[in-house]
Amino acid sequence: MTTRAGFVALIGEPNAGKSTLMNRMVGAKVSIVTHKVQTTRARIRGVAMEGEAQIVFVDTPGLFQPRRRLDRAMVAAAWAGAADADVIVLMVEAHRGVTPGVERILEGLAQMPKGRVVALAINKIDRVEAPVLLGLSETLNAAYPFARTFMISAERGHGVDDLRRWLATQLPESPWLYPEDQLADLPMRMIAAEMTREKLTLRLHQELPYQLTVETEAWEERPDGSARVDQVIYVARDGHKGIVLGKKGETIKAVGQAARQELEEFLGRKVHLFLQVKVRPNWQDEAERYSEMGLDFRDGNA
């Protein structure tokens, strides 16, 4: 039996549903999913099996107008993920339609080398009526020659199986790139940091989630089969530290409990998670922080 394997890049605006789609395709939570935009910072790879094909999903950061160094590095990572992939899937929210952001992405796709297989996935189809969907599909296909168009709901699973089956047929013949039971190629340290950052993002408001980062400083395997995980939450200002800690440490305690529970479910064993908060005013200008996130510091240059 011929095996296939390759990379599929999911691109789109922030909150288009890329992480939700990848998690559903893979069948496990490997990417951070929140109601906040721009939460995916690094290109996270999730591995899905479809028959004899192994689909490696690259969940890229959302494409948006960058303002800061971190923004620019995230956008550069998104386009790099698309350029490296065998197949690109552009995700567009059905109820938002062709926004200025989608128009910029279409312009970017037009500048990519010819011959690239690009599919369109119109997501959140349950939010609009059928005539609106058909009109949006016609408009987008007139703007770019998509190989196929899929109507999906990543959250509910509608149309996702059809998309996965089609993607499997588009990949090159190749041995599998990862062991069959591997879900993601991110180091566990980074997945653990992402889980904690997600919990912080859900609990904190406004800009603060974008002013902090989480790093797994130490990972110790214990004789009883459990793991001790030490993480540092870097914030930009002293005032932010107090917000992250919360009154009498309630916020950091709740975040730690939620992150530990999710990590234990993911690993299938006991985890001892220890969090501390440190103030680093210029962490967004430190190359080391970017490498921890899987981003290229140089891509943040204006």
Q: What is the pLDDT of residues 262-292, one digit of tens each?
A: 888 877 889 999 999 998 887 667 666 566 5
User: Residue 289: what pLDDT?
Assistant: 59
Return the minimum-mean-pLDDT range out of 2-16, 193-207, 239-253. Answer: 193-207
Residue 97 or 66, more confident: 97
Task: Residue 112: name the closest of 152, 83, 141 by CA.
Answer: 83
Provide the residue type at 248 as one letter: K
Q: Which long-range contacts (CB under 8 A, 24 or more apart) does 237-240 make?
A: 237/211, 237/279, 237/281, 238/279, 240/208, 240/211, 240/212, 240/279
List, for residues 76-94, the tens digit of each pLDDT value: 665 566 667 889 899 999 9
> Hey, how many other C-beta atoms are within 10 angstroms of the C-beta on 49?
16
Mean pLDDT of 34-41: 44
**Which pLDDT score, from 0 to 100, does residue 36 have?**
43
Q: What is the pLDDT of residue 213?
A: 83
- Whole-angstrom Cα distance, residue 160 to residue 154? 7
Residue bearing tokens 């951070």: 32
Band of residue 44 on the pLDDT scale cut at 50, 70, 90:
low
Q: What is the pLDDT of residue 166?
A: 97
CA distance 111 to 99: 19
pLDDT tens digits for range 208-257: 555 788 888 888 888 898 989 999 998 888 888 888 898 999 999 999 99
pLDDT at 153: 95
Confidence at residue 205, expressed as pLDDT on a 0 to 100 scale: 67
Asked if domains 4-170 and 188-300 share a fold, the reply is no
According to CATH, what is the number of the domain 188-300?
3.30.300.20
Tell me how far apart the alpha carbons of residues 33 and 150 are, in angstroms, rounded to a whole number. 22
User: Residue 94 — φ and ψ, nearest 5°?
Assistant: -60, -40
Cα separation of 55 and 75, whole Å?
23
Pick the CATH number of 4-170 from 3.40.50.2300, 3.40.50.300, 3.40.228.10, 3.40.50.620: 3.40.50.300
Distance CA 269, CA 187 (A): 17
What is the token pair recorded at 6? 């390759």
What's the rounded Cα separation, in Å, for the pair 258 and 139? Answer: 43
pLDDT in tens, 154-178: 999 999 999 999 999 999 999 987 7
Least confident of 52-66, 200-214, 285-299: 285-299
What are the domain boundaries of the chain? Answer: 4-170, 188-300
pLDDT at 126: 93
- Residue 55 is predicted with a pLDDT of 87
Q: Give the model's pLDDT for residue 70.
A: 58
| pLDDT score for 108 | 83
pLDDT tens, residue by residue, 92-145: 999 999 998 899 889 888 888 787 899 999 999 999 999 999 999 999 999 999
With a pLDDT cut of 70, the percent of the chain lying above it is 75
Residue 246's Cβ-count burial label (10 Å; 0-12, 13-18, 19+) is middle
Reduced 3-state DSSP string for the chain: CCCEEEEEEEEECCCCCHHHHHHHHHCCCCCCCCCCCCCCCCCEEEEEEECCEEEEEEECCCCCCCCCHHHHHHHHHHHHHHHHCCEEEEEEECCCCCCHHHHHHHHHHHCCCCCCEEEEEEECHHHCCHHHHHHHHHHHHHHCCCCCEEECECCCCECHHHHHHHHHHHCCECCCCCCCCCCECCCHHHHHHHHHHHHHHHHCCCCHHHHEEEEEEEEEECCCCCEEEEEEEEECCHHHHHHHHCHHHHHHHHHHHHHHHHHHHHHCCCEEEEEEEEECCCHHHCHHHHHHCCCCHHHHCC
Instruction: Answer yes or no: is pLDDT of 39 > 50.
Output: no
Evaluate if residue 9 carries a pLDDT over 60.
yes
